[in-house]
Amino acid sequence: MFDGMKLAAVATVLYIIVRCLNLKSPTAPPDLTYQDTPLNRFLLKSCPQLTKEYIPPLLWGKSGHLQTALYGKLGRVNSPHPSGVRKYLPMQDGATATFDLFEPQGDHRTGDDITMVICPGIGNHSEKHYIRTFVDYAQKDGYRCAVLNHLGALPNIELTSPRMFTYGCTWEFAAMVGYIKRTYPQTQLMVVGFSLGGNIVCKFLGENSLNQERVLCCVSVCQGYSALRAQETFLQWDQFRRFYNFLMADNMKKIILSHRHSLFGGNPVKMIDLDLGPLYTATSLMQIDDNIMRKFHGHSSLKEYYEKESCVHYIHNVNVPLLLVNSADDPLVHESLLTIPRTLAAKKPNVIFSLTLHGGHLGFFEGAVLFPQPLTWMDKVIVGYANAMCQWEKQKPPCQSGHLSESSCAEEKA
């Protein structure tokens, strides 16, 4: 009986491992949704990562869980240490936004001054390995990089007001972009957002058309587009999403409690009538959002908070070239959410939606069999797309730009 139970347990573990490795899953180029325009044809021709087969490491790279776990645990392999300068920006409500500024390590191939303004994922900052790897790669290609540190995310930076980052608050990102525009009046911007940062940058651009001035393009990677629609999927065990929800909630609890004095005590303008009991017992992001996060901006309900902080209500206002990247095996983003970028790309000529078969959540590791390469497909596709956009701006016909459709061009010629 005991040997039979052990055998059944071993068989079960082996079955789970085989399912996770997903060795028989095919590889293929990304599934693309876009309108046939001169700009999109040029971008797809000039950025080969978007049309060529993405090949993850053979033994484990076809598992979205393992890709996500490796990103979550290590970030990247042999991550570099780019040297930057930390900037501090006082906000009107007493908060202090911080970002790290990294100068290019050489001239850009076009000779232009280009700055990438980067918004990391939930609770992340410029010191995360995946950010350091991407910044180093972009610097070497001639890009200045400005990386937002989410309010409260840096462990050694105290909050100066009873507020921290939320799912869709764009105030700190707007302050960083404003600083870059004032300090470098000749620079043009490439906007980049990872996961939650993708939601923030798309919402920022869509909130006000003035925010799109001097912006060449935007790239969003692995975001979920609608928190309201995502919340139900995060309570499901499909793809172990409920477990990931628990892990992210635990991390958010640690960040919030590390700033408990600034947020909840010893401050004359602290939030009042706040019971921290539900925070200690919370096992999901929704519980934390309902009891803590929504109150930072005075939202009356969780539904209102998710509605107002999701980019799905603003992204249709973005008119600069927009690349939206997701992975089909991302365990955090349910497939139902991908109808949002797919529909947008089918309707708007400035949008390309790229869906890879593999990559997990912010993984996208490449490699032959076992060991991943330091640079990921994600790093390469963002810089490749940015380079293609810069090249387009240099050689485009006079009436064409990322903001003009073919009909607009025809009207201008007439």
Is 261 an active-site residue? Answer: no
What whole-number distance in Å separates Cα of residue 72 and Cα of residue 226? 22
Across the beta sheet with 31-34, the strand order is: 31-34, 351-356, 322-327, 215-221, 188-194, 114-119, 144-149, 96-102, 85-90
What whole-number distance in Å separates Cα of residue 388 and Cα of residue 49? 11
Is 125 an active-site residue? Answer: no
Is 209 an active-site residue? Answer: no
* Phi-psi map region of 39: left, alpha, beta (phi>0 left; psi -120 to 50 alpha): alpha
What whole-number distance in Å separates Cα of residue 107 and Cα of residue 320? 24
CA 388 vs CA 73, 234, 381: distances in Å: 32, 36, 10
Q: Which residue among the candidates 150, 259, 358, 361 is catalytic per the annotation?
A: 361
Closest-CA residue to 321 (of 353, 352, 350): 350
Q: Which residue among the candidates 63, 195, 226, 262 is catalytic per the annotation?
A: 195
Confirm if 312 and 225 have CB atoms less than 8 A apart. Answer: yes
- CB neighbour burial string for 92-108, b if at least 16 within 10 angstroms, e if fewer: eeebbbbbbbbebeeeb
What whole-number distance in Å separates Cα of residue 411 and Cα of residue 414? 5
Residues 6 or more apart whose Cβ sits within 8 Å of residue 332:
68, 195, 222, 224, 241, 244, 361
Amino acid identity of 203?
K
For the chain, the residue count is: 414
Q: Which residue among the candidates 136, 141, 329, 330 is catalytic per the annotation?
A: 330
Q: Give counts: helices (H), strands (E), the chain.
A: 15, 9
Chain position carrying tokens 């780019």? 82
Closest-CA residue to 184 (of 134, 146, 140, 136): 146
What whole-number distance in Å separates Cα of residue 153 and Cα of residue 295? 18
Please return the burial class of 23, using the count of CB atoms within 10 Å of its CB with bins 0-12, 13-18 and 19+. exposed
End-to-end, the C-alpha distance of the chain in Å comes to 85
Q: Which residues are catalytic?
A: 195, 330, 361
